[in-house]
Structure formats: C-alpha cells, structure tokens
Amino acid sequence: MELFPGAENSLSDREMLILSTALELFTQRGYFNTSVHDIHRSARVSIGSIYHYFKNKEGIAQALYSHLVDGMANVMDDIDRENKTTHDRCRAAIEYLLKLAQSSPQAMQFILYARHREFLPDEKPICSSRPFEKMKAMVKAGMETGEIRQMDPTVASVSLFGGAIRLIHLWLDGVLNRPVSEYLDEIWACAWRAVT
C-alpha cells in the first residue's frame, strides 16, 4: 500500500493502514473531530496496535505529515536531478503537483488545507517545509543563471507556483470543469512569463 508517491516506505503494512485511515478521517472530518477510537474502528485494528506504533493522535498526525512532506521532497530532488534548466525543473514541479492533486487528493488536502500549526505546533508552516523550500531553491538557482530576472525570491516563487497551487485548491473544492492536470500548459505559460 503506497500512501503517497515518492515517500520512502520503511513503514509496516499496519502502520500504513493506520496512516492512510487517519488521512481519510482527518480530511473528511478534520483533525479535532477525529479520535484514535475513530481510526481504530475504520482501520479495524486494535487500539493497542495504534499505540504500539504511535504515541497518540498527535503522533499519528506527525508521522503522516512527515511521510507526506518527505515524499514530496524526494520527488523534488528527482526533478532537480533529472532536469537541466530552471525552466524545465519548475515546469516539472508544477506538473507533479497538479498530477498529485488528481491521484492523491486527500494527501493534497492534508498538505494544503490542514492547519498543521494548531496540532503540530513545533512544525514549520507548510510553505517553509522541505519540498516548498526546494522549489524556492530552484527559483534562486534560476536567478543565478539568468533564466529568471532578479527579484525577491519569495515573490518569484509565488509568481511561479502560486497559480498552480490555487488551481489545486479549486480542483479540491470541485470548482474546475476539467481535471486539474489539463491546465498545465496554460498555468505554466502564465507563470513563466511572470518571472522572465
């Protein structure tokens, strides 16, 4: 069972079942409206099994967050290695995010909608997590090579990736008429023009 493409899977099948069940419940009901007993009933695992792997509900959320963020960061590393130019890296990052929203909507909902700081107060905001920092580093590298004009790196990153992330929100909210990945060429053309 793969909870999230790109994540290292060093977890047991039971841990993956608990995490995938928690993801489903957290995105359907919200973190605060989901109990360990809800996870136990939906996953059909014992309470003892849950506490064997995870200290508490916050431990489940922490493991889920780490697994998802690590998976995204691993894919960003692959994108960085496999593409030679900033143009191609950033386009591939957007393509990945759009496809991920289609293939793993609950994971994207948890990444983009959950108010992580409320239940994981020691975590950085999601926009400062490793995958998003890697995307910002792609932009900075593009400025160094002259592919992207000089500007504040945060403004450039928002200009490049913000439209795609907003499209993902619209997809998750059921507003778009077509699958979100079908907007890649249009959103990429707009994003790239904004920074070159």
Mean pLDDT, residues 104-116 taken together:
86
Alpha helices in 44-129 (DSSP H): 47-53, 57-82, 86-103, 105-113, 116-119
pLDDT digits (tens, 9 = 90+) for 51-63: 999 999 999 999 9
Q: Which of 91, 106, 99 is nearest to 172 (CA)?
A: 106
pLDDT digits (tens, 9 = 90+) for 113-169: 877 778 778 877 777 889 999 999 999 999 999 999 999 999 999 999 999 999 999
Return mean pLDDT, the chain. Answer: 91
CB 129 within 8 Å of CB 74: no
Describe the chain by its helix, strand, coil percentages, rounded to 5.
75, 0, 25
**Helix, strand, or coil here: 56?**
coil
Q: Which residues contact 15 (CB under 8 A, 6 or more apart)?
A: 53, 63
CB 110 within 8 Å of CB 47: no
Instruction: Give yes or no for residue 3 having a pLDDT over 70.
Output: no
Q: How far apart are CA 70 and CA 129, in angstroms?
A: 9
Q: Which residues contact 67 (CB under 8 A, 6 or more apart)?
A: 3, 4, 7, 11, 19
Instruction: Give residue 194's pLDDT.
Output: 96
Mean pLDDT, residues 101-110 taken together:
92
Mean pLDDT, residues 84-92 taken together:
98
Residue 1 pLDDT grade (very low, low, confident, very high; cuts 50, 70, 90): very low
Instruction: Give residue 121's pLDDT.
Output: 80
Mean pLDDT, residues 73-92 taken together:
96
Name the pTM for this structure: 0.89
